[in-house]
Amino acid sequence: GVRQKEQLKKLRAEVDVLTLTATPIPRTLAMSLEGLRDFSIIATAPQRRLAIRTFVTSFSMGIIREACLRELKRGGQIYFLHNEVSSIQLMYEKLSGLLPEARINVAHGQMPERELEHVMRDFYQQRFNILLCTTIIETGIDIPSANTIIINEAHKFGLAQLHQLRGRVGRSHHQAYAYLLTPPEEALGAQAKKRLEAIQAMEELGSGFYLAMHDLEIRGAGAVLSESQSGEMQEIGFSLYSAMLDTAIQSLKQGKEPDMQHPLGVATEINLHVPALLPEDYCHDIHERLVLYKRMANCADNDQLDDMQRELIDRFGLLPNPARALLDCHRLRIAAKPLGITRIDASADSIQVQFIPNPPIDPLKIIQLIQSSREYSLSGQDRLKVQVQIEDVNKRVVRIKELMQKLG
C-alpha cells in the first residue's frame, strides 16, 4: 500500500490522509510516535464483545478435532486457514476423514470469481460449517456465527497479519477461540517465537496498538523517507534513534537547521565535587537503581523531577545527601540546556561554566557580568569562571542557579 499512497500524494501538492488500521505497520507507528504524524487510539470495544481466547500449540489432529467439535456442538462455524493452494486439497481430505460429521468447503484466491462468491454466500447462510481457506479471508469478512479459527503454520505469518486473521472471529457476543498451530518448538526461529508469544499475551480487547508496538520492536521502524518498511536499529538502539529523531523534528518545527554535530541537543555535564548517587544502603537492588538513574536522566522538566523525588521518599525514606546532590545535578542539567551550557564544574573555591560554540545567549550579558564584579572572568574563549568560596553544596547549587538566571 505504500506505493499507492505515494501516488495519491503526487496527484496534489497537499493531500490529507486519514488511515484507519487495527495494527499499523512499524514505520507508520514510528512516524506517529516521533511526532511526524498525528494519531489517536480507539480502544472502546463494541457492547457485549468478548476477548478472543488464543492458544499457541504444536500441530495435532486431536486438538483440531476437539476444537472443531466444541464449535459444532454449539451450532457455530469454523475457519481452518491453510495458506498453500497447492496442498489445500490434501488438507481437505485429511479434515474430511477426521471430521465426518462436518460439512467442509474450500475457498482460495485462485478459484473462479463466481465460484468463490457462491462458496462465501453458502458459508454466510450456514449451508456448511467448516471453511478451509487461505488468507483470502483476512480483510472485510464479518460472519457472526463463525467463532473458531484454526491457523495452520502460524509461525509463517506476521504479527499484524495474525491479529487481522484472529479478528475474523468473535464478531458477536459469543466467546471466540483462535488456535495457532505451529511445528515443534525447536523448529521455530527466534522472531517467530517472539511473534507468537506476543499474540498469545495480547488477547484482550483493544490490544492492536500494543501488538503494533511489539511488531515495531521485533521488526524495527524502517526508513522514514523511503518505501522500506522494516530496518535494523541495532547499531544505536531504538531509544537513542527515537531521541535523535525527536531532537531533529523539534529543530525543524522551530524553523532551525538540525545540529548534526550534537544530534541529541546539548548534553550538560555537572560536577559538584560531592558524591551524587543513590547509595547502596538506601536502594539495595542494583537493577532498581539503574532503572531510577535512567528515569531521572529522561526527566525533561522540574515537575517530573519533583515527582521522582516524592516517589523516592515514599519508597525508600528520606533522601540522603548523595541522592539530594543527584537530583540537584539533574535540575541544573535541565536549566543549563536552553542556555547552551555543556559543563558546570563547581568546587568549593570556584564555579566554571563551559558553553557550546555560538551559545543561544546574549554576549552583552556576559560582558556586563564581568564588568559588574571582579569575581567573574573569562577562562578561555568558551568558559566563564566565578571566583567564590562556598563550602556548602546546597548554597553552591543556589549560586549556580542565580548565575544561570542572570545569563538567561
Residue 323: per-residue pLDDT: 95
Residue 175: per-residue pLDDT: 93
Going from the first residue of the chain to its last (408 residues), give the mean pLDDT of each consecutive group of 10, the final group possibly shorter.
80 82 77 79 83 92 95 95 95 95 94 94 95 89 93 90 89 92 88 87 79 76 60 63 76 79 74 93 92 90 94 94 94 90 91 87 87 87 89 92 88
Residue 237: per-residue pLDDT: 67
Q: Which CATH superfamily is domain 53-205 in?
A: P-loop containing nucleotide triphosphate hydrolases (3.40.50.300)
Residue 99: per-residue pLDDT: 95
- CATH number of the structural domain 269-407: 3.90.1150.50
pTM: 0.57
Cell representation of residue 408: 538567561
Residue 229: per-residue pLDDT: 53
Write down the domain spans for the chain. Answer: 53-205, 269-407
